[in-house]
Structure 1
Amino acid sequence: MAGTMRKSEASTSRSSGSGNNNNNRGESVVADCGRRKSSCGYCKSTGRTTVSHGLWAHSITVDDYQDLLDRGWRRSGSFLYKPDMEKTCCPSYTIRLRASDFVPSKEQQRVSKRMQRFVDGALDAKKSGEAFKDPGISASACNEVSSSGTMESLSVKNKEKNVGDHITYYLSEQVDNVIRTCSESGQFPCSVRLPKASVKKVSQAKRKLLVEGAEDLMYSSNIAFQIAATIRQAQSIAKDGSQSAEDNPLTPKIIAEKLAASLDQLAKTNGLAIRACNGHINFYTAATQVSSKEDSHIATGSQESEIERKGCSLRKSSVHPQGKRRRLEIRLKRSSFDPEEFALYRRYQIKVHNDSPAQVSESSYIRFLVDTPLVPVQPSGDDRVPLCGFGSFHQQYVIDGRLVAVGVIDILPKCLSSKYLFWDPDFAFLSLGKYSALQEIDWVKENEVHCPSLKYYYLGYYIHSCSKMRYKAAYRPSELLCPLRYQWVPFDIARPLLDRKPYAVLSDSVLLQNGESSQPLVSENVMEVQGDENRNEDSNDVPIDDDDDDDDDEEMTEPEFESSDDDPGPETFGQTSVETENGDVSDILIGLKGSRLRYEDLRRALGPEDRSYLESQLHRYKRVVGEKLSERMVYSLG
């Protein structure tokens, strides 16, 4: 037996290493927790109506966790869970978007502009009209401001806003003119209606990524990404309609270079230096020697532009911004306990979610948002790992030295997965949930340059039956994961199915659209929702309201879990996958007392009762994680 185990260990070591794509990324070790039930934080049901399968991860590689995400799993600390979509009260669909295809809505653009005005010193008031109080200013001092002084301050700020708006509006007009010229000359498809350009002032938010010359980067536009996405979508529709359509050779980088070259005359007449950087069109002060590095578009500094110092030569205005500029920093750090972060989290939970102080303990915070089973991967200098590496991170948003928000994220081989966000209630008027999501999408765009596989932004779970979770569909164009076939389905195709039922096999709609079947592809008994007596009946079709600034809707929430003593054991868990299953569990990788062996090598050492019980557990485990992961991850028996 000992000789057999040693032989098996050698073979499994080779197979598990190759399965993880990179042998130095560690190994995944999980313990099966079986079925879990808990109360639902979404529909607020009184019973334990959230049903899921759970795994406790002692460690997990970033590659394996990426594959688990693509099978509908998520994590809360070191606990991994996957909803039983047929039985849980609020079916939760994994949602993602391709970052380079993202087109911001008008409301999302307003959020970015509001933050920019706040950083520039042109916005000092909450939406409600109350004066924003800096940490060092007392309430009595604020009350001493005279009404005449307030009016004067508002007048100055309105002038500041007008200056900034004049500049960006003028630059946007010039870019639109160049786009129109390119369309008329045939460089862009004349039959496609292209989006309008939006040039934005670059804030101090990315000071952390300064490179040579970037301190004089003043304005930037991502219109090239929007044009490429629009052309690609138009060609996709043409192909679906059996029309002739060629693959789009116009990448954002190529489009930006065309537009920048055509804007050369603008640079000469207005004292600007214009450069295309990885799909972005950047406007620098002419005195700057622009860096030749490809990633210079992601940095900015605090210096004011030459055109503003000269009285806004682009638009004839003598108004000079007088507001106090603020410094916004976005810092990315590995997941670890930070007392300042915990203090912010505690305040957020009590003020925003009405938790009692006793509910917000340091230990619960650590379990939920600090602990992580992900094995960190350090940057290696190649194009398979971003500059920050892979693993679990906290992204801090700091304004003038004050921590105002923290985004808890996982950076994986294919995506940035957003887990949770907590923020300072005093800054609710800045819509920090939406703003952080936009920053995370931009981060993916920028880092795809260094790591081509990192293309997607995962927003967690989308719950169509919960109106407060529908905001995630506003980040377009998004797609949902089919809970049966694990195929990605465009949201616009999936939505009609979800309007009819909380649980649906989303890939059926795609197959039917392609004419592959005229009958339901999954029997009604499989698609039928179980446990209707516990289901949230509120399925009102509530559209996303672009004018809704309720940040309560923006957090990346995850349900809390309770231990369950009603594990079904051998019972089949959840829906049956359409993957071919021959019932063979012999290749599952088992961890036992420090050894690694396949179940086929362990089977003969077990008695009939132990063998029968363990095999029932392994069958269930294989169904929920899939064949490949069951052979790659270590199923721990202690």
Structure 2
Amino acid sequence: MASVVEYKGLKAGYYCGYCESREGKASCGMWAHSMTVQDYQDLIDRGWRRSGKYVYKPVMNQTCCPQYTIRCHPLQFQPSKSHKKVLKKMLKFLAKGEISKGNCEDEPMDSTMEDAVDGDFALMNKLDIKCDLKTLSSDLKVSIESEEKEKEKSLKKEGSKDLIHPQAIEEKLGSGEPSHSIKVHVGPKPGKGADLSKPPCRKAKEMRKERKRLKLMQQSSAGAFEGFQAQGQPVSLLPKAKSNQPKSLEDLIFESLPEDASHKLEFTRFLCNSPLEAEHPANGPECGYGSFHQQYWLDGKIIAVGVIDILPYCVSSVYLYYDPDYSFLSLGVYSALREIAFTRQLHEKTSQLSYYYMGFYIHSCPKMRYKGQYRPSDLLCPETYVWVPIEQCLPSLDNSKYCRFNQDPQAEDEGRSKELDRLRVFHRRSAMPYGVYKNHQEDPSEEAVVLEYANLVGQKCSETMLLFRH
């Protein structure tokens, strides 16, 4: 199995959805007929990113809004206050039916679909959140429809129009802005008084006194704990010490709900159609490597679908689209936090899988800086392709849209193409080294195109992927 790609070359001077420049954008792209997960891992570590089967790389020193590859460290990640508010908002909604009001929209979209080079496939502009689902790639629609058909007959009757509305296309990582919430439960009717089936409300001052009393009891009984336990007394009778440790991401996401919870949120995962070839190595994650749909089901109704790529060293977020009727749940933020937790789970089985790639960070567009809130995180140097902590990059980005993050002026791109003749070509149904292929070519422009491709993908990928040539 080998990756087969068709290089499309440079596309410059077209519309940018970030700054609305009509002719400011520049990128190079290629069509991936098939691709191994390792090749794609190596490509995104050189600044590439896929939209469907189209794989593109911004020309960083030319494009109007440089897009820097960003990755998060899930093993060290701690949710911020705004992240915790989103998770607690979801828990309150599931447990008690509370809904939010006010401004609870997620941050703007990132790159969901890059513009087509030849116009031969339907792709979306990154900020066009009003785009109808008909503009999605046919492969994605067919995959989603086939998955829905497998559900119960009652779900079929709802139809796809109940699943996604216009304005439902949304990139994953929202800001998690705090919002106020109100309960949808109706209180006691006039004249009925308080609900006597529930314990009376307690003042905050009384609750603080109670916590202090329990803490003193715990301290006084600490010395006698071993003897108390040895006499056969149940440990559960001891007052529990209040932990000073903040709740982990998993504690907030997987907190148990009451039996009478108002709502039920479930998740399913399916392989989806993409250029990435699914792989199931013995030492890999149980679900294998490849592209997956993560479906979010609320009370039997699908409300969101996220697409992720599970690669040898990371989970890469592709995009998320959801029913806008549930935007009050900040599903962009919530799905990102769940995927960070999912990456942690995969790491337990596959130790080298330890990063969460969030696509591109665009510092020159203030609305697209929200990914910097997921820390610790790194940005990829666009010249040497080494990872640099985002804190070290921000001062430079404040002064210039395009920056080299590697502070060593002598450092070079270690993965650059060094031996062009070893590049692999697929020509007339045969794979061959470029050194053999070029002996039969008379077009003087051919070598310039191949050299441009080789410099962009690097020596490693140029030797493992097959470059299709007519």
Q: Secondary structure at the match of 2:285?
A: coil
Closer, same or farther: CA 452–325 of 1 in aligned 2, 3 Å: same
CA offsets 1:146-192 (integer angstroms, 9 cap, x no match): 88659999999x98999xxx9xx98xx99xx99xx9xxxxxxxxxxx
Q: In the TM superposition, what is the alpha-carbon distance from 1:298 to its structure 2 partner?
A: 9.7
CA offsets 1:592-635 (integer angstroms, 9 cap, x no match): 1211110112222233xx2x322111111111011111111101
Q: In the TM superposition, what is the alpha-carbon distance from 1:440 to its structure 2 partner?
A: 0.3
Does the CA-based 8 Å contact 1:585-1:615 persist in structure 2? Answer: no
Q: Secondary structure at the match of 2:421?
A: coil
CA distance, structure 2, for counterparts of residue 411 and residue 468 of structure 1: 27
Find the partner of 1:501 among 364, 383, 400: 400
Unmatched 5+ stretches in structure 1 = 1-25, 137-144, 182-264, 273-278, 284-296, 305-322, 336-370, 512-519, 523-576
Equivalence for 1:41: 17
Equivalence for 1:17: none
Q: Secondary structure at the match of 2:371?
A: helix
Equivalence for 1:373: 275
Residue 334 of structure 1 pairs with residue 271 of structure 2: yes
Does the CA-based 8 Å contact 1:51-1:83 persist in structure 2? Answer: yes
Aligned length: 364
- Summarize the alignment of residues 39-438 of structure 1 with structure 2, pairs less than 5 Å apart: 39-45=15-21, 47-121=22-96, 123-128=97-102, 149=189, 268-269=236-237, 304=259, 324-335=261-272, 371-378=273-280, 380=281, 382-383=282-283, 385-438=284-337
Closer, same or farther: CA 625–586 of 1 in aligned 2, 3 Å: same
Residue 474 of structure 1 pairs with residue 373 of structure 2: yes
Unmatched 5+ stretches in structure 2 = 105-157, 163-184, 223-232, 241-246
CA distance, structure 2, for counterparts of residue 160 and residue 409 of structure 1: 47
Residue 618 of structure 1 pairs with residue 453 of structure 2: no
In the alignment, residue 469 of structure 2 is paired with which amino acid?
L
Equivalence for 1:453: 352
CA distance, structure 2, for counterparts of residue 127 and residue 154 of structure 1: 26
Q: In the TM superposition, what is the alpha-carbon distance from 1:479 to its structure 2 partner?
A: 0.7
Equivalence for 1:22: none
* TM-score for the superposition, normalised by structure 2: 0.69
CA distance, structure 1, for counterparts of residue 331 and residue 361 of structure 2: 19
Closer, same or farther: CA 386–154 of 1 in aligned 2, 3 Å: farther
Q: Secondary structure at the match of 1:438?
A: helix
CA distance, structure 1, for counterparts of residue 436 and residue 315 of structure 2: 38
Q: In the TM superposition, what is the alpha-carbon distance from 1:125 to its structure 2 partner?
A: 2.8
Q: In the TM superposition, what is the alpha-carbon distance from 1:300 to its structure 2 partner?
A: 8.0
Equivalence for 1:593: 428
Closer, same or farther: CA 403–282 of 1 in aligned 2, 3 Å: closer
Does the CA-based 8 Å contact 2:4-2:32 persist in structure 1? Answer: yes
Closer, same or farther: CA 441–377 of 1 in aligned 2, 3 Å: same
Identity of aligned residues (%): 39
Closer, same or farther: CA 582–621 of 1 in aligned 2, 3 Å: closer
Closer, same or farther: CA 407–161 of 1 in aligned 2, 3 Å: farther
Does the CA-based 8 Å contact 1:409-1:418 persist in structure 2? Answer: yes
CA RMSD of aligned residues (A): 4.0
In the alignment, residue 377 of structure 1 is paired with which amino acid?
E
Does the CA-based 8 Å contact 1:329-1:397 persist in structure 2? Answer: yes
Does the CA-based 8 Å contact 1:330-1:398 persist in structure 2? Answer: yes
In the alignment, residue 420 of structure 2 is paired with which amino acid?
V
Does the CA-based 8 Å contact 1:40-1:49 persist in structure 2? Answer: yes
Closer, same or farther: CA 450–583 of 1 in aligned 2, 3 Å: closer
- Identify, as 1 or 2, the structure richer in helix: 1
In the alignment, residue 34 of structure 1 is paired with which amino acid?
G
